[in-house]
């Protein structure tokens, strides 16, 4: 297990996860591989100077972490179970918090990576709403989605914002996302694209 620098310490500090998720993050933070034995490793890949670990948590959500040259560059909590569980971040809940709730929380619609704009995957219409975290070099992205069949009945933008529900939270280095998602970003008319934590 590699040493875990600032990004994971930041993620551990700002997000009040369930105890199981806290224990998992502390295991990485403290470099204690033995503490991970209660979590199910469901994915591992290594390519070039990058390595990727994905764990199934007791609530069936997935936690993934990507290293590049031994440094944490990408973290994700994915509500793979599709059950309404707590994201424990800003009082958001997976499958319940709506995109409009996220906009209202930050008084901003955030920004979008151009090649992550209005994506379709696994029979879902998916949006990636991003904010820069002040003075950190980090991006937090809230992924929301709606079933493509249900999308056909949506008649207005406001109705869409009410029906897109939180499914994933990502924290990553902006420099890394600029490589894997591309540097091109869409900045809608909004007061700010940064949030403080």
Any domain includes 54: yes
If you count them, how many residues does the chain have?
197
Residue 162 to residue 195: CA distance in whole angstroms: 22
Q: Is residue 68 part of a domain?
A: yes
In a domain, 10, yes or no: yes
| Tens digits of residue pLDDT in 120-129 | 888 889 999 9
What is the pLDDT at residue 144?
Answer: 95
62 in any annotated domain: yes
Instruction: Indicate whether 1 belongs to any domain.
Output: no
**Res 12: pLDDT:** 47
Name residues of the chain where pLDDT drops below 70: 1-39, 86-89, 190-191, 197
Domain span holding position 41? 6-195
Quote the pLDDT of residue 196: 72
d(CA 50, CA 69): 6
- pTM as predicted: 0.81
Model pLDDT, residue 66: 87
Contacts of 135 (CB under 8 A, 6+ apart): none
The predicted pLDDT at position 5 comes to 42
Query: Can you read off the two tokens belonging to residue 99?
Result: 């995109």
The total of structural domains in the chain comes to 1
């Amino acid at each position: 297990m590699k040493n875990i620098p600032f990004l994971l310490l930041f993620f551990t500090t700002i997000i009040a996860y369930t105890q199981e998720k806290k224990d998992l993050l502390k295991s990485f933070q403290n470099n204690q591989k033995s503490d991970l034995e209660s979590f199910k490793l469901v994915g591992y890949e290594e390519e070039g100077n990058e390595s990727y670990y994905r764990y199934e948590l007791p609530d069936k959500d997935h936690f993934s972490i990507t290293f590049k040259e031994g440094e944490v560059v990408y973290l994700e909590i994915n509500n793979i179970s599709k059950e309404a569980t707590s994201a424990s971040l800003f009082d958001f809940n997976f499958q319940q918090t709506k995109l409009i709730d996220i906009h209202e929380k930050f008084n901003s619609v955030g920004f979008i990576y151009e090649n992550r704009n209005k994506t379709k995957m696994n029979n879902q219409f998916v949006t990636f709403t991003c904010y820069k975290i002040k003075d950190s070099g980090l991006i937090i992205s809230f992924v929301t989605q709606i079933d493509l069949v249900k999308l056909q009945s949506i008649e207005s933008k406001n109705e869409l914002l009410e029906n897109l529900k939180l499914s994933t939270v990502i924290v990553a280095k902006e420099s890394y996302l600029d490589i894997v998602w591309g540097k091109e970003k869409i900045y809608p008319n909004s007061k700010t694209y940064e949030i403080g934590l």
